[in-house]
Amino acid sequence: MKGRPPPKSDAPRGRKPAGKPTGDRRDGGKPADGKAPGGKPGERKAYGKPSGPPGRARGGAKAATARKGEGGKPAFKAPYKKPAGKPAPKPAIVKDVATAAAPAKPSVAKGVSLDVRQYRVQPDDDGIRLDRWFQRHLPDVGFNIVSRWSRTGQLRIDGARAAPGDRVAEGQMIRVPPAEAKAPVPERVKRSNARVIDLTDEEIAFVQDMVIHRDAQAIVLNKPPGLATQGGTKTDEHVDKLLDGLMFNAEQRPKLVHRLDKDTSGALLVARSSRAAGHFAKAFSSRTARKVYWALVIGIPSISDGMIELPLAKQPGTGGEKMHVDEEEGLPARTRYRIIERAGNRACWVELQPYTGRTHQLRVHLAAIGHPIVGDGKYGGKDSFLTGSISRKMHLHARRIRVDHPDGGRIDVMAELPAHFANSLSDLGFDLTLGDMPLDDEIDRTPTREDEKKFARQHAKQVRKERKGERRSRGGSRDE
């Protein structure tokens, strides 16, 4: 039989050649003429799982013609073989450094970051200080750490060294060093509402024995000499420590509103509520509260009722523990004094009213005019002590305090003298009943009948002098 010889192939006739079936994956592995190998036309014979859904077009004559190779042979592709061994690693994804390092808003993560961080300044932060920027976005970084980073050059803005006070601008890049590890903070124990009084029964009894006045808003104590008002260096015993013993079933702890020197005795006002403390503090600052002191001083002032006006300042080289008169840089200070009684030329008993509240004001003023308080060796030296039976303790006592009450009315309390002061007055022969003199605003200034007559006589005398002068002036003009 004559004809064209069949195409050469290693596979036997009527059998599918090894390798990839004719056509691409879109054709489901069928020959280009649409017949299944070894079957009738139109019959589907599967050689595996079809790659497409049934009923879908599997290619056309045009595509089949294009896929034929030279000489009408189908163009076969080598089958894909999966390489043996481990799969090839995926290529690394390279991110934009500027984008990854400059998030829209810094995310504060707990823990420690070992990498340098970069932050872009946002429009809301334009113009603020760098330390304020840390407060907003990195609150765990304290001011001390920011300052240290600045000093060591680790903190930078756009590559330049930055200080905590520098202001940042929108779009700038802030370089932040790695975060520092923090020591673990122990959990705080929740406090109960009930306040624990850490005082002994003796201390509570001691402070309650000082009370000379008590109401819903205030307590007045008669502080003994030698007890400090507040604590300090090497001062463990003080009134502030004992205030827990003055709660008297109240919800709030009493509060100090003024103070007395350690060696000064007398009336000390304590507020029982925050509202009362604010009221009393305003009364002292506005000078509406009045305080009266008693003192025993060396010698006799030349003026029995006078005012001392000398500015005071801290004395250099004393660490603020001592004051002195400073006419140039001192703060204004005014003290009213009145002599109550004299003991010859040796000493006198005086009443003092401070119109300002400078530290050690009464003691410095009296020493400055040459009459230091008896027993005040700090400002009077050795000349401030009397011989004989007079105590060497300081003789300064807050006798009276008068202040407006927060709920209306007045608090007006007097404190009794300590034993050493009372004994000294007695030994010097002073009459204790003469001590409580009225304040200026308590003196009745209403003129009496005798005062009116005296004023009338003075006025008439002045009128006669003026008339006599007029007559002399007229006589002199006629002689001319």
Catalytic residues: 261
Q: What phi, psi does 290 have (nearest 5°)?
A: -120, 135
Q: In this structure, what DSSP letter does residue 331 have?
A: B
Spatial separation of the C-alpha atoms in residues 271 and 24, rounded to whole Å: 98
CA dihedral over 62, 68, 72, 76, signed as positive or negative: negative
Which candidate, 311, 250, 292, 294, places its Cα nearest to that of 394?
A: 294
Query: Residue type at 459?
Result: H
Spatial separation of the C-alpha atoms in residues 31 and 177, rounded to whole Å: 68
Q: What phi, psi does 244 have (nearest 5°)?
A: -60, -25
Distances (CA, A) of 350 to 50, 175, 382, 427: 121, 70, 21, 16
Residue 422 CB neighbour total at 10 angstroms: 14
Helix, coil or strand: residue 113: coil
Q: Contact, 394 vs 373, CB < 8 A?
A: yes
Tokens for 402?
A: 């008068």
Give DSSP secondary structure letters for 169-226: -TT-EEEEPPPPP-PPPPPPPPPPSSPP----HHHHHHHHHTEEEE-SSEEEEEEPTT
Q: Contact, 355 vs 336, CB < 8 A?
A: yes
